[in-house]
Amino acid sequence: MKSEISYSKAQLVILVSSRVLIGWYCLYEGMIKWINPSWSAFAFLNDSQGWLAPFFHSFAANPTSLSVVNFLNIYGLIAIGLGLILGLFTRMATVSGIVLIFLYFLSHPALINTSYMLPSGESAMWVNKNLIFVFLLLILLVYPTGDRIGLDRLLFNRFKN
Amino acid sequence: MEDKKNKKQAFSRRDLLKGFATLPVIGAFGYGMFREWNADRLRQNSIASELGLNFDEHPIAVPSKSDGKTLRIGIIGYGIRGEQLMRAAGFSRPELVDDWKRGAQRNVNDRRYGDYQEQEDLNIVITAVCDLFDVHAENALKAASNSNRSGVDGPMNQTAKRYRRYTDLINADDVDAVIIATPDHWHARMVVDAAKAGKHVYVEKGLTRTVEEVFDVRKAVKESGIVMQLGHQGRQTASYNKAKEIIDKDILGKISLIEVCTNRNDPNGAWVYDIHPNGSPETIDWSQFVEPTNPHPFSLERFFRWRCWWDYGTGLSGDLLTHEYDALNQVLHLGIPHSTVASGGVYFYKDGREVPDVFQAVMEYPDRDLTFLYSASLASERFRGKVIMGHDASMEMENTLTVTPDNRSTRYKDQLQAGVMSSDKPMITYIPGKSNVDAVTSATEQYFASRGLLYTYVQGKRVDTTHLHIREWLNCIRSGEQPSCNIDQAFEEAITAHMATIALRENRKVFWDAESEKIV
């Protein structure tokens, strides 16, 4: 299971730290939604702009799809966060994170002359924090560390014939 | 790295250390999260529960009494409001139903059709309609026939008869109760005549055009014992009930100032209603229209935009101050003010109207140690809500409630110092129907929706407040109870509004002599 790449100590420390920090960020985003019973993705979805806006608006319009989106966001973020911090099912957590955050990026692209109701606290043109997040996770995907520092090390070692 | 194969069963110490290396991070995260959650809980939820408020429970719908006998209703006045009242009662013109259906097909957020179809059947039948304009009367007949809530292709049941004079409608044997949605100058006569005939009344606000009429109406209603409901549908708004709970628990401390407002900025909101192309002396019974007021030559503008003239209504006082006042009277039981001053003018709509489009009234309640301030503009939509200002906290009261502690509060001093509360964060918020936000159509409707005058939420479901208000009235007719906006509430509303009108028109401070029940 272990990847073939060999890391220097410094490389490993930086990669694992990045993984834990991103995991922390996602876990908190999920937990804060989880403890707030009235949280809903409704406003975020409705605030969507750009060429995919109708797609995101349609999720907000239907109570069933909205509750699915809410559920996936809350528990998805928590699971991704725990996975990245603990190095548990790291690959799946990383890929899910990439998909989820890329959806955030697509729903709120940093287009020229576009402003959003929900404050993001950033000034951005085309490139924004979500896009950088996606690429950070892509780095973690091609330089995996869960099988060295993380529970994957134990998990996948144990079940190897 | 290559030593795995020899160690498939047991983990080395090294494996365990590296496997669990990041676990302490979860511990740190959990600690931080717990502290934050605790602070948040202290700040919000526990404030509500310590103060004895339960914000999770939604108001339970009062059980309907519609299973009794079918009530036979007559409708007098089928203009804009009359049509809305009939819709709320379950009777809409088939053309409108088709419109909503098409709207729902185009836009999934357009819930008018769905909401209408889901509206409870109130077990009534419309047996009589009366309107002085032929087109409106015909439309009312069509709506009355549409008990199946269908479109133009659906089956209709002709149940109603058109009356050209309201007295004939009131005296008809097959009418148990009437809904009055005429211009204000007709209200008093109709309510009095209906009461004398023993017919129950739902009448739109403002209750009357003149002060004398208020007394006539009260006398007739009290003597006859009929069930009268005044059309302040805000009585049904879920958040107002919660607001009353907050006030009753003295969470705001001593209340010294209440500020309520009207802010609209479209012609429809300023009573420049459409003039129907078929309106003419042939289709409108003008002589009957002006019967209870000053005579005037035929005027389409006066007929369709009657709110702009003193002959037919009382402008902002009767139309919109009354809504705001009734909302606060419901929550605070203010009663009639001790004194009122008012000012305003026609500053924007210079279309020949007499009634001001900018209007302020200041009402004093020395017994309660508070001032009630109403401020209105029909030429700016800048939102200013209803705010109740207390020594310890203030509350913004709309469809949602927000209670914010005051920086100099005595009661919350310790919490403010400890940082558990802060004057820049609400300590209580109440949002009924949370994630349900729906498309509403016109700017006027949006205005009413934001003020809880259009929809409320019962157990998370959006319901038209007007529907609930009519439903309550019908329930009371069946059970003999008093509705929430009965003649006593209506009396207070009407006198309060008239005091503001008189203060403006006579440019003086007016007083209420509670002993002799006179405006002086």
In terms of C-beta density within 10 A (0-12 exposed, 13-18 middle, 19 or more buried), how is residue B222 classed? Answer: middle
Residue range A152-161, pLDDT digits in tens: 999 887 544 3
Cross-chain Cβ contact A86/B33 below 8 Å:
no
| pLDDT band (50, 70, 90) for residue B422 | confident
Averaged over A88-95, what is the pLDDT? 96
Cross-chain Cβ contact A38/B431 below 8 Å:
yes
Return all residues near B221 (Cβ < 8 A) that are at least 6 apart: B191, B195, B201, B228, B487
Averaged over A86-99, what is the pLDDT? 96
Cross-chain Cβ contact A161/B8 below 8 Å:
yes
For chain A, give percent helix, strand, coil, nearest 5.
65, 0, 35
Residue in this structure with the two tokens 């924007």, named with its chain if needed: B348
Same domain, B173 and B284: no
Cross-chain Cβ contact A154/B16 below 8 Å:
yes
> Residue B11 has which token pair?
């983990």
Averaged over B9-31, what is the pLDDT? 89
| DSSP state string for B319-334 | IIIHHHHHHHHHHH--
Q: Is the pLDDT of residue B3 over 70?
A: no
Cα–Cα distance, B302 to B285 (Å, whole number): 13
The answer to whether residue B300 is domain-embedded is yes
Averaged over B263-278, what is the pLDDT? 96
For chain B, give percent helix, strand, coil, nearest 5.
40, 20, 40
Identify whether B206 is preceded by a cis peptide bond (ω within 30 of 0): yes
**A contacts of B108 (beta carbons < 8 Å):** 58, 61-62
Single out the residue in B180, B211, B233 at which a domain terminates: B233
Same domain, B386 and B490: yes
**Cβ pair B379, B362 in contact under 8 A:** no
- The count of CB pairs under 8 A between chains A and B is 69
Single out the residue in B204, B233, B262 at which a domain terminates: B233
Chain A: residue nearest B8 by CA? A158
**A contacts of B37 (beta carbons < 8 Å):** 35
Average pLDDT, chain A: 88
**Is the Cβ of A151 closer than 8 Å to some Cβ of chain B?**
yes
Residue in this structure with the two tokens 């929550």, named with its chain if needed: B331
Q: Which is it for the CA torsion B341, B345, B348, B349, positive or negative?
A: positive
Cα–Cα distance, B379 to A128 (Å, whole number): 41
Cα–Cα distance, B264 to B448 (Å, whole number): 10
> Residue B162 has which token pair?
């058109």
3-state SS track over B244-273: HHHHHCCCCCCEEEEEEEEECCCHHHHCCC
Q: What is the pLDDT of residue B109?
A: 75
Cross-chain Cβ contact A153/B8 below 8 Å:
no
Find the angle CA(B47)-CA(B52)-CA(B56) to the nearest 5 degrees: 80
Q: What is the pLDDT of residue B437?
A: 39
**Is the Cβ of A160 closer than 8 Å to some Cβ of chain B?**
yes
Chain A: residue nearest B12 by CA? A154
**B contacts of A44 (beta carbons < 8 Å):** none
Among A87, A157, A161, select the one facing B22 at the smallest CB separation: A87
Q: What is the CATH number of the domain that holds B140?
A: 3.40.50.720
Q: What is the CATH number of the domain that holds B259?
A: 3.30.360.10
Cα–Cα distance, A153 to A155 (Å, whole number): 6
Output phi, psi for B184, to 5 deg: -60, -30
Q: Which of B18-27, B125-134, B241-250, B345-354 has the lowest mean pLDDT?
A: B241-250
For residue B194, what are the domain limits? 71-233
The answer to whether residue B426 is domain-embedded is yes
Chain A: residue nearest B461 by CA? A63
Same domain, B111 and B83: yes
Same domain, B291 and B229: no
Cα–Cα distance, B127 to B144 (Å, whole number): 8
**Is the Cβ of A38 closer than 8 Å to some Cβ of chain B?**
yes
Q: Is the pLDDT of residue B245 over 90?
A: no
Return all residues near A121 (Cβ < 8 A) that are at least 6 apart: none
Q: Which of B1, B7, B22 to mutate to probe the A interface, most A CBs <10 Å?
A: B22
The answer to whether residue B348 is domain-embedded is yes
Same domain, B216 and B241: no
Averaged over B416-445, what is the pLDDT? 66
Q: What is the pLDDT of residue B9?
A: 57
Output phi, psi for B457, to 5 deg: -120, 125
Q: Is the pLDDT of residue B81 over 50?
A: yes
**B contacts of A86 (beta carbons < 8 Å):** 22-23, 26
Cross-chain Cβ contact B434/A38 below 8 Å:
yes
The fraction of chain B above a pLDDT of 90, given in percent, is 72
Question: 3-class DSSP state for residue B150?
Answer: coil
The answer to whether residue B36 is domain-embedded is no
Cβ-based interface (< 8 Å): residues of B facing A: 1, 4, 7-8, 11, 15-16, 18-23, 25-26, 29, 33, 37, 40, 108-109, 431, 434-437
Same domain, B216 and B251: no
**B contacts of A62 (beta carbons < 8 Å):** 108
Q: What is the pLDDT of residue A149?
A: 94
**A contacts of B21 (beta carbons < 8 Å):** 16, 149-150
Q: Is the pLDDT of residue B60 over 90?
A: no
Cross-chain Cβ contact B25/A20 below 8 Å:
yes
Strand stretches in B431-489, DSSP E: 455-458, 461-464
Residue range B175-212, pLDDT digits in tens: 999 999 999 999 999 999 999 999 999 999 999 999 99
Among B8, B33, B436, select the one facing A31 at the smallest CB separation: B33
| pLDDT band (50, 70, 90) for residue B111 | confident
Chain B: residue nearest A42 by CA? B435
**A contacts of B17 (beta carbons < 8 Å):** none
Q: Is the pLDDT of residue B477 over 90?
A: yes
Helix A90-107 / helix A129-142 crossing angle, nearest 10 deg: 160
Task: Identify the helix (H) or strand (E) that includes residue B360.
Answer: strand B358-365
**B contacts of A20 (beta carbons < 8 Å):** 22, 25
Q: What's the complex ipTM?
A: 0.87
Residue range B151-179, pLDDT digits in tens: 999 999 988 999 999 999 999 999 999 99
CA contacts within 13 A on the Cβ side of B261? 20
Q: What is the pLDDT of residue A160?
A: 45
Q: Is the pLDDT of residue B458 over 50?
A: yes
**A contacts of B457 (beta carbons < 8 Å):** none
Averaged over B28-50, what is the pLDDT? 75
Same domain, B242 and B201: no
Average pLDDT, chain B: 90
Chain B: residue nearest A155 by CA? B19
Q: Which of A89, A151, A156, A159 to mutate to probe the B interface, most B CBs <10 Å?
A: A151
DSSP symbol at B175: -
**Is the Cβ of A153 closer than 8 Å to some Cβ of chain B?**
yes
The answer to whether residue B3 is domain-embedded is no
Nearest-CA distance from B29 to chain A in Å? 8
Averaged over B499-520, what is the pLDDT? 97
Q: What is the pLDDT of residue A30?
A: 93
Nearest-CA distance from B22 to chain A in Å? 6
| pLDDT band (50, 70, 90) for residue B440 | very low
Averaged over A92-99, what is the pLDDT? 97
> Residue B125 has which token pair?
């039948």
Beta strand pairing call for B228-230 and B71-76: unpaired
Q: What is the pLDDT of residue A156?
A: 83
Same domain, B229 and B246: no
**Cβ pair B115, B148 in contact under 8 A:** no
CA contacts within 13 A on the Cβ side of B290? 15
Residue range A113-125, pLDDT digits in tens: 777 766 677 888 8
Q: What is the pLDDT of residue A33?
A: 86
The fraction of chain A above a pLDDT of 70, given in percent, is 91
Cross-chain Cβ contact A85/B22 below 8 Å:
yes
Residue in this structure with the two tokens 């100590």, named with its chain if needed: A9
Question: 3-class DSSP state for residue B306?
Answer: helix
Cα–Cα distance, B330 to B384 (Å, whole number): 20
Same domain, B202 and B314: no
Nearest-CA distance from A157 to chain B in Å? 6
Question: 3-class DSSP state for residue B376?
Answer: strand
Cross-chain Cβ contact B11/A38 below 8 Å:
no
The answer to whether residue B63 is domain-embedded is no
Q: In B6-146, where does DSSP find H-type helix?
A: 13-19, 23-43, 45-50, 80-89, 94-106, 112-118, 134-145
The answer to whether residue B412 is domain-embedded is yes
The answer to whether residue B474 is domain-embedded is no
Beta strand pairing call for B228-230 and B255-263: unpaired
**A contacts of B33 (beta carbons < 8 Å):** 28, 31
Q: Is the pLDDT of residue B442 over 60?
A: no
Residue range B292-350, pLDDT digits in tens: 999 999 999 999 999 999 999 999 999 999 999 999 999 999 999 999 999 999 999 99
Cα–Cα distance, B240 to B430 (Å, whole number): 10
Averaged over B362-371, what is the pLDDT? 97
Q: What is the pLDDT of residue B435?
A: 38
Please count the structural domains in chain B: 2
Cα–Cα distance, B370 to B363 (Å, whole number): 9
Cross-chain Cβ contact A40/B435 below 8 Å:
yes
Cα–Cα distance, B83 to B92 (Å, whole number): 7
Q: What is the pLDDT of residue A112?
A: 83
Same domain, B314 and B332: yes
Same domain, B211 and B310: no
| pLDDT band (50, 70, 90) for residue B74 | very high
Same domain, B252 and B218: no
**B contacts of A28 (beta carbons < 8 Å):** 29, 33
Single out the residue in B192, B215, B233 at which a domain terminates: B233
